[in-house]
Amino acid sequence: MKAKYRRYYLHRMLKKKEIRYNPYKRTIYRFFDEPTDDKHIQSLNKDFGYNVQLEIR
């Protein structure tokens, strides 16, 4: 149960930072020139299996 709340906390942090993501596809969208070393992105990627997809502007 604790992991579920952590995941929703990380979703809120991404939304607060205006980072686009899709929880159903478990994908975080970043532009190729933006950093992907954010601790919240890394946590979702490592602990919950989210993918980081780079986009071209």
Chain Cα centroid distance, residue 35: 12
pLDDT at 1: 67
pLDDT at 3: 87
pLDDT at 36: 86
Residue ranges covered by each domain of the chain: 2-55
The predicted model scores a pTM of: 0.88
Using DSSP, state whether 4 is helix, strand or coil.
helix
Per-residue pLDDT of the chain (57 residues; tens, 9 = 90+): 688 899 999 999 999 999 999 999 999 999 999 988 999 999 999 999 999 999 998
pLDDT at 35: 87
